[in-house]
Chain A
Amino acid sequence: MTATPLLRVEDLHVSFSLRREGDWPWTPLRRLHAVNGVTFDLAEGEVLGIVGESGCGKSTLARALIQMVPATGRAIWEGKTDLLSLNRHAMLKYRADIQMVFQDPLASLNPRMTVGEIIAEPLRTHHPELDTSEVKLRVKELMDRVGLLPNQINRYPHEFSGGQCQRIGIARALVVGPKLVICDEPVSALDVSIQAQVINLLMELQRDLKLTLIFIAHDLSVVKHISNRVMVLYLGQMMEMAAGRELYGNSQHPYTQALLSAVPIPDPVREREKVVIPLTGDLPSPFSPPSGCVFRTRCARAQGICAEKVPVPLPGDHLVACHFPGPAVV
């Protein structure tokens, strides 16, 4: 790959300074490292899946890219601009290029606005020159595109089902013709039967509109079909990243293997024979992550060195942050 990536994220860190409930005003703030040195490239037209348990920093990573939380590191857009260095005003231009789809379909729509007004909002923000009828036509086109009836334009969010609300959210993200769409667990709140419909819609739109997607999920099975590459996060750090097929067929990191073993296999025979690698213990507190490899407290393969040295992935297409990478052993 020699072409300039659409987005190159280098050493992204996000931390929050928090005061515990009941702390005195003079107790020092505690730092929570939500995202800790994440680096990746995103080629144009690529779909990157980001997977990890809830609370591991997936949403924070996504929000850092569009300056919704303060972050350090670099996020180079089209090989030129560092998004993280832009001020509020300069960032505005890029907000049209990067759009988001949110987790809770109903909560992400203003209950007092009609569907038409909701979908039109990014358009009105970035193209104030358009007149009402042009906006309306564009909104109706998009409603049709995402599988909503355009004549429902004057209805309110509470008159739609969860899946339809998510379609509204997708239409809103696409109305300004973005290059990158970040989907933050877009199907986690939906029924399983509806999940597939929404994922298929996103795949279709991605192909037709040549979109670049970041698709976040807390479950490897959800991102399997849609992603070209998958990144596995744990406590704000990348554990493994590889092309989809490689990651699902030849995972090298014990954490990925544990996640994979939790994914149900549709074939009952293979499901019964499958080796389940349980994740023992609790997720460590993000305030005091383990030294060395953050996964070591739950890793069956952990050795002395794991507590001392942070594993650094070798460069390549299949990145593994582990001192003892290898196929799953039981």
Chain B
Amino acid sequence: MVIDSTRMKSLADRLAVDEVKGRSLWADARKRFLKNKAAVGGLIVLLLVLVFAAFGGTIAQYSNEELDFSIMGQIAEKGGPSLANGHYFGTDDLGRDLFARTVQGTQISLAVGIVGSAIAVLVGTFYGAFAGYVGGRTDNIMMRTVDILMSIPYMFVLILLLVVFGRSIIMLFVGIGLISWLDMSRIVRGQTLSLKHKEFIEAAEATGVSRLIIIRRHIVPNLLGVVAVYATLLVPLMILTESFISFLGLGVQEPLTSWGALISEGSGTLNYGTYWQLAFPLFFFVITLFAFFFVGDGLRDALDPKDR
């Protein structure tokens, strides 16, 4: 074959032109998200809370377990928030530094929320995507299992677990992890069902791409929007669950603490006039929950497919 040299040359030229950068749907969503003031505000609050949890310990003057004997017994008079004695948030009923305890409680509460949500994302996404994509009897069995698990009153089971196996943070994570993925798997399965009949999935099947690769390459990336929104909204729910359990006195064990435990203690001593014992943990609890909801909402708007 005679090679048409001018054609080859022009082809080479065209191939050599600098590649144009694409604008992915993620980039579009980011732009929309950044335009949403409430969501960006929520994100900033979350970052500040994270910084507080991560570095608050370094500016605390006391550890979370040492008792300040100079204050003990006169908490209502001397234990209030004060820059002078280093108890920025005051002390708790036993004379422990509330600042250090709030930092510690924030760490535990955020960890519970984030771990619960992460388990939901990992397990729920793959479980739901697999059931939805494979369909048929596999789907039936997998989703009926989820139905059965969901019909169990999980709070009851969680409390039983904590009573039987003893209160430990591991048990708390196990309990929360067990339930958190159920809703996620249902949502993801629903989305997968609607994706499954899209022509690009059919195109991949026609070419012979294997099922697992189709799930990984075509289904999961198209689910991530929904998953991200739901995961963000799940974190505060997990925090609430943990707080509720701690409020009942079944959560983390002393000297560890969490927002729920702190709020519980604070509200118990409220009529002694130590308002700060409730106010500080409650403040962090409330702003964090609000921030998560705002961010989740902003993500939902940003990723909303109707704008595409």
Instruction: State the A residues within 8 Å of B (CB).
Output: 63, 66, 68, 91-92, 95-96, 99-100, 102-104, 107-115, 121-122, 125-126, 137, 140-141, 144, 149-156, 158-159, 169, 172, 176
Contacts and interface: CB of A to CB of B under 8 A. Distances in A.
A310 to B, nearest CB: 32
B25 A110 contact: no
Q: With a 10 A CB-CB cut-off, give which of A121, A137, A144 has the most chain B CB atoms.
A: A121
6 contacts: A96-B207, A111-B25, A115-B22, A126-B207, A144-B15, A172-B203
B19 A151 contact: yes
Given A110-B222, A121-B207, A150-B17, 13 more contacts: A68-B206, A100-B206, A111-B308, A112-B221, A113-B217, A137-B15, A141-B11, A149-B14, A150-B14, A151-B20, A155-B20, A155-B22, A156-B22
B209 interface: yes
Given A107-B200, A144-B15, A99 B206 contact: yes
A148 to B, nearest CB: 10
Contact of B18 (A115, A144, A151): A151
Contact of B209 (A113, A125, A149): A125
B208 interface: yes
Contacts of A149: 14, 17
Interface in B15-29: 15, 17-25
Contacts of A169: 203
B161 to A, nearest CB: 38
Given A102-B202, A112-B221, A137-B15, A154 B21 contact: yes
SS class, residues of chain B in contact with chain A:
helix
Contact of A122 (B199, B207, B222): B207
Nearest to A152: B20
A156 B308 CA distance: 12
Contact of B25 (A102, A152, A158): A158
Contacts of A141: 11, 15
A100 B203 contact: yes
Contacts of A154: 19-22
Contacts of B66: none
A104 B198 CA distance: 10
Given A104-B199, A111-B222, A141-B15, A121 B23 contact: no
A239 B21 CA distance: 50
Given A111-B222, A151-B17, A151-B18, A125 B207 contact: yes
A104 B21 CA distance: 25
Contacts of B14: 144, 149-151
Contact of A114 (B17, B22, B200, B202): B22
Nearest to B208: A95
B204 interface: yes
B194 to A, nearest CB: 12
A110 to B, nearest CB: 4
B218 interface: yes
Q: With a 10 A CB-CB cut-off, give which of B21, B203, B207 has the most chain A CB atoms.
A: B207
Contact of B15 (A92, A114, A150): A150
A149 B23 CA distance: 16
A315 to B, nearest CB: 33
A102 B201 CA distance: 11
A96 to B, nearest CB: 7
A153 B203 contact: no
Contact of B208 (A126, A152, A153): A126
A159 B21 CA distance: 11
A154 B17 CA distance: 13
Interface in B264-281: none
B205 interface: yes
Nearest to A114: B22
A-B pairs, top 7 by smallest CB distance, nearest first, are: A95-B208, A108-B199, A155-B22, A112-B221, A151-B17, A154-B22, A122-B207
Q: With a 10 A CB-CB cut-off, give which of A108, A169, A172 has the most chain B CB atoms.
A: A108
B200 A109 contact: yes
A94 to B, nearest CB: 9
Nearest to B10: A144
B207 A68 contact: no
Interface string B278-308: 0000000000000000000000000000001
A159 B199 contact: no
B24 A140 contact: no
A149 B24 CA distance: 18
A119 B21 CA distance: 17
B198 A159 contact: no
A113 B25 CA distance: 10
A294 B308 CA distance: 44
Q: With a 10 A CB-CB cut-off, give which of A103, A156, A169 has the most chain B CB atoms.
A: A156
